[in-house]
Structure 1
Amino acid sequence: MTEEQKLEVFREEEQHLDAETLFVVSQTFKALGDPTRIRILNLLCTGEHSVNDIAETLDLSQSSVSHQLRFLKNLRLVKYRREGRTLYYSEDDEHVMNLLKQAIEHASHH
């Protein structure tokens, strides 16, 4: 592919980056830029977990976990279900979870 063809492809792709798309992408990377959120998402890759289970497993306060889960839920990266008074969280965006897994794999090779 020539440089001119590459530039044309870039221009076509750039048109798809409207303000909303740019915002969502930047917020997704913001979410993945925090070590605590990465730890929580990595744990949720193993399956559904309650807030208490996440806090205990990762040695974090329940308040901290709840705060981070709210952030992740607002980005639709996690979802929850209620069972009585307990909230159970799980992953809600396979694309981002795959990106996280690839980033972890990349980092572990360096």
Structure 2
Amino acid sequence: MPSVAGKAVCGVYEIHPERVEKARLALPEEGVLKEAARLLKALSDPTRMRLLLALKAAGELCVCDLALLAGVSVSAVSHQLRLLREARLVDFRREGKQVYYRLLDAHVAALLEEALAHAEENT
């Protein structure tokens, strides 16, 4: 296969209409695509991944516990948790003055497992 600047490119420009149509029909609505991209963007930070993996392992943790585990300030964790809440990856509950965070649902745990499995294949 020919390459340009080390990247594989087609040697012949040819459209495969059946494959293109199959792929087009499989694409979700634009809103779903944008939401999925936003979700993956929220996962793209190592600190946020650390927080999510800690929550996956422990079930639920408070901000102070998460700050200790992540090695960052409580303020930084609070900021990251806000982004994770907005991406619908975590939820929380209050117990008096204490706030405990947890993964939103099993989908998030499965997504984390798949991301780690894929990353481990490449290392």
Whether the TM-score (by the shorter chain) exceeds 0.5 is: yes
Higher alpha-carbon Rg: 2
- CA drift at 1:5: 4.8
The count of residues paired between Structure 1 and Structure 2 equals: 106
In the TM superposition, 1:1-110 aligns within 5 A as 5-14=18-27, 16-18=28-30, 20-46=31-57, 47-109=59-121, 110=123
Q: 1-side partners of 2:22 and 2:104: how far apart?
A: 31
Q: Structure 1-normalised TM-score? A: 0.85
8 Å Cα contact 1:28/1:75 also seen in 2? yes
> Which is richer in helix?
1
Which amino acid is 1:33 matched to?
A: S
Q: 2-side partners of 1:75 and 1:36: how far apart?
A: 15
Change in CA separation of 1:105 and 1:64 when aligned onto 2, cut-off 3 Å: same
Q: 2-side partners of 1:81 and 1:96: how far apart?
A: 18
3-state DSSP of counterpart to 1:45: helix
Please list the CA deviations of residues 60-96 of structure 1 after superposition, one character each: whole Å capped at 9, or x if unmatched.
1000000000110111110000001110000004223
Please list the CA deviations of residues 20-60 of structure 1 after superposition, one character each: whole Å capped at 9, or x if unmatched.
21221111111111111111011111111111111112221
5+ residue gaps, structure 1, are: none
Point out which structure has higher relative CO (alpha carbons under 8 A, 6+ apart). Answer: 1
- What CA RMSD, in Å, does the superposition of the two structures yield over aligned residues? 1.6
8 Å Cα contact 1:50/1:89 also seen in 2? yes
